[in-house]
Amino acid sequence: MSLRTAKATYDLVLLPGDGIGVEVIAEARTMLDQIATAIGVGFACTEIACGGKYWLEHGEKRDWPEGSEETCAAADAILLGAVGWPTASGSPATMQNGQMAGWSAVIGNRTRLDLFANVRPVRLLPGVLHNLSGERALVWKPENVDMVIVREGTEGLYSGVGERATDDSGATDLRVITRRASERVIRKAFQLSMARGRGAPKDKKKRVTCIAKHNVLHGCRLFVDIFREIAKEFPEVEPDVCIVDSFAMFVLTQPEHYDVCVTTNMFGDIVTDLASVLQGGMGMAVGCNIGDDHAMFEPIHGSAPPLAGKDRANPLAMLLATGELLAWLGARYADSRLTRAAAAVETAVATVVRANKTLPADLAGAEHAAARSVVAAAVRGELATLLAAR
């Protein structure tokens, strides 16, 4: 990541998308306005409609307006809400080319802007209870859940190479694993372990775990071989390899073992959603799509059409994603104002969660739930106090 000088105004693209994505990104924009006033920095926000609803309403081949690709490429950073909207029949909106309506903003941006590392922090905040079988309880301890999963974001089963037979007799999806993509995402994982510096909760060892299915798949054998090559560049970090199906068990039964994990695109998509259970569900989970020159940040909870318009969504993942955006910009532009604001966002969310008074339904249960707008306002209240302290 090239180091640049701090700017007076940062150009951001906001992609609200569908459903609750529109609602939570509005909360993020309000928080950005608050931060801008408090720290003396400008955010020039360009909002671009996109997703399934856009495609259905416009009856076009595109799922966002002409010129959106160029606008995203010119931005300092991108904030994504969520995409996905049902048709009248209830099936997901799908474009003529077979791609989901919303592909351009998500997978399109990842591939076009070369956002090769999908970085997902998995941290359990004190005060979060786990919802299992309809009951709320503290299943995992906060001190045992503090890892980062790094998912390759540009190839694998999402490379777009495949076809479906015209007579529906079969379909193929080609999984593409290349040395170039593998090397850089694996190296990113080792660099993250070094930068975190605290290691795994269990033994404080800096460790990178490679998640693969190398006992069966050729692409995984290549990925693991490259992992072992890259590991030699980082003698301070312990290399670890785990078969993906075993990891699905161990991440829930032994989360304290993990510091940083790295894997291919599809496996990463699955295990990060699984790992979100550790932190209270996808309403708390953040996705950071990072490249050398661009970055896009998002909550990973999806558009949740049944919740749209009811003020019931959990805004915390989006607010945390906005904090990650500020941290990335702060590091990229050596802007201590943004770095400080990012830390304040994380602390504000943690304070609201720990207080256990103003939480959304997925964290508090339906009987004690606060509205999305109320939860977001509580975070902004804590944030105001933190930013005022100089």
Q: Which residues participate in catalysis according to the annotation?
A: 158, 213, 245, 269, 273
CA dist., res. 80 & res. 85, Å (int): 15
Residue 262 pairs in a beta bridge with 150, 210
Q: What distance, in Å, lies between the first and last C-alpha atoms of the chain?
A: 29
For residue 299, what are the CA distances in angstroms to 96, 165, 210, 220?
27, 35, 24, 28
The H-assigned helical ranges of 138-217 are 179-196
Here the tokens at position 43 are 């955010």
CA dist., res. 276 & res. 271, Å (int): 9
DSSP conformation letters of 329-370: HHHHTT-HHHHHHHHHHHHHHHHHHHHTSS--HHHH-GGGPP
Nearest-CA neighbor of 316 among 268, 354, 290? 354
Cβ–Cβ < 8 Å for 319, 31: yes
Q: Half-sphere exposure (CA, 13 Å, Cβ side) for 159? A: 15
Contacts of residue 327, defined as CB under 8 A and 6 or more positions apart, other chains included, come to: 338, 339, 342, 343
Nearest-CA neighbor of 47 among 76, 79, 7, 20? 79
